[in-house]
Chain A
Amino acid sequence: MMPQTISQKIIARAAGRASVAVGEIVTCAVDLAMMHDSGGPRRVESKLRELGVGIWDPSKVVLVSDHYTPAIDVDSAGILSLARKFAVLHQINNFYDGEGICHVILPERGHMKPGLFAVGGDSHSPSGGAYGAFMVGIGATEMAGVLATGEIWVRVPATIRVEWNGSLGRGLAAKDILLKLCATLGMNNDYKVIEYVGSTVAAMSMNERLTMSNMSAELGAKTGIIAPDATTFADLAAKGVALEDWRRELAGDSDAHYEAVHRFDATSLAPQVAAPHTPANSHSVVDTDKRKLDQAYLGACTGAKENDLRMAAEILKGRKVAKGTRLLIAPASTQTTAKLAADGTLAILLGAGAQMLPTGCGACAGYGAGVLADGEVGIASTARNFKGRMGSSKADVYLASPYTVAASAVKGEIADPREFLE
């Protein structure tokens, strides 16, 4: 049999095959389908009705309201109300209503595990790859097809192996790695899988791995996968997720074919900042113009998980946000908020002058509180800085790690977090 990457093995299993070859089109059975309030019920319900069918297996569906929550006006309230009614009608028990962002909720509530063939109605669905799942983003019509049939066609992708070795320096994070990759590999790795390996990745927490897989979307990849290891198993055990043996043993063959292999040295990486208007416009913070900032934003699935906000707190402890700059934080889940409140992290952030926003996707995609005005300049721990995404199309958004966002909030201009950590 032809040697297989971990992604090929997961696809083959879902397609009921012993192996699959890169480039062939196969139909896969879906193990898990995740959708949210924006691309979910309000977009799929009429299509299901048109097809005259229900959901193939509600136990395999997870619905998360995160884009329009909490409602800021009657329109968003209506969208959320529709999601609630849909959950009842279709008996979706895995419904999380305003409890967090879908990509954070899935692992937090024990829905992710190695070997799943999963689809998500959101472009950051590659996040699931952090757990050794093959998880891809799809649109609403495609989701309606999955809900109706439990199946989806997929062209077996080639895999690009991205290897990071060595320890990240103080004040650096997975976010810096992904911004560096956006600048190096570009954002058009369409139809490819990125597989992350190396000692840097092996040393990462699950939350940091989630950031890696999450921003694989910015590389244009189908998904970004990390083979499960002891860290994965410990995380799942703590959540009470039972694993069959085959899921524990899941790995690519040692002689599997990679379309390309890229090697990077983490020890020499400097904090990265993406200048407007694309993540691919990333450079070392040292070489970035030190623009004055109106706003610093710690939010989204990419940049407001428990570890992200702890990074910010390392910088903000005993310091204040600069006058003339506002720091907004929107924790990625209510559990995150509760944990950070219990251990004092939240008190550090608020003590520094941060304004707390509701949990949800918020300003990252221009949906919720915290968008920018014409001519304003912001820095964010989010994933994208496309023109007009975070409010005005005449605003400038920079992207960086939580460390760099926090340091920049203190200085009132784009700043190198390493100055604050000596």
Chain B
Amino acid sequence: MNLVRIWKFGDQIDTDVLAPGRYMKGTIDELAAHCLEAVRAEFAAQVKPGDLVVGGVGFGIGSSREQAAQALKHLGVGAVIATGAARIFYRNAINLGLPVLVSADAAKLADGAMVQLDLASGSVNDADGNLLAQCEPLPDFLLEVVRDGGLIPNLKKRLAANRTAT
């Protein structure tokens, strides 16, 4: 399993910080370049595919703008792990194929640590396989949405199955 880096943020990371309103008219490329810049200027430029974003309580509070999750996905973030996630952000992210895992252990994860995530079980381990944090696993039907790449591919599959069935 690949090791990925943890980018740790605090509580109440809101949608205006994830997707600032003044860049909302533009492309996702432009918007993503400003993702989280108000709290951590280097994030967008340095985050690597698969890296994990870790937050405290209230991750994604605020607007329903899906671009908050889309920007993270666009930058290649592999998953968001948080003590608590705002409900619209949670649904938006999963609908785009970006898993959000809730974990009481989120605070134990250190910024910059290299870890591996097992999505199905929700465990975050270090390079030697020691458990660093246990997340609540996603319910099966949401895990399937994530694995399909989001709600639209998932719906496409289900609609096609319905057509075949009838």
A interface list, Cβ under 8 A from B? 25, 38-39, 43, 47, 50-53, 68, 73, 75-76, 79, 120-123, 125, 137-142, 144-145, 148-149, 153, 187-188, 190-191, 220, 222, 278, 280, 365-367, 371, 384, 386-389, 391, 393
Q: Are A139 and B64 in touch, CB under 8 angstroms? A: yes
Q: Are A389 and B91 in touch, CB under 8 angstroms? A: no
Q: Are B95 and A142 in touch, CB under 8 angstroms? A: yes
Contacts of A50 in B (CB 8 A): 152, 156
Closest to B97 in A: A141
Tell yes or no: B132 within 8 A of A by CB: no
Q: List 28 A-B contacts (CB under 8 A).
A: A25-B139, A38-B65, A39-B65, A50-B156, A51-B159, A121-B64, A122-B64, A125-B64, A137-B64, A138-B88, A139-B65, A139-B69, A139-B88, A141-B151, A142-B151, A187-B12, A187-B61, A188-B61, A188-B84, A220-B58, A278-B12, A280-B12, A366-B16, A366-B22, A387-B38, A387-B39, A391-B22, A393-B20
Closest to A222 in B: B87
Number of A-B contacts (CB under 8 A): 126
Q: Are B86 and A220 in touch, CB under 8 angstroms? A: yes
| Bound CA–CA A256/B102 (angstroms) | 29
Chain A nearest Cβ from B12, distance in angstroms: 7
Closest to A219 in B: B61
Contact of B91 among A138, A188, A220 (CB under 8 A): A138
Contacts of A222 in B (CB 8 A): 87
Closest to A120 in B: B64
Q: Are A53 and B95 in touch, CB under 8 angstroms? A: no
Q: Are B61 and A388 in touch, CB under 8 angstroms? A: no
Q: Are A145 and B22 in touch, CB under 8 angstroms? A: no
Contact of B21 among A123, A140, A366 (CB under 8 A): A366
B24, B90, B141: residue with the most chain A Cβ atoms closer than 10 Å: B24
Contacts of A53 in B (CB 8 A): 159
Tell yes or no: B33 within 8 A of A by CB: no
Q: Are B88 and A145 in touch, CB under 8 angstroms? A: no
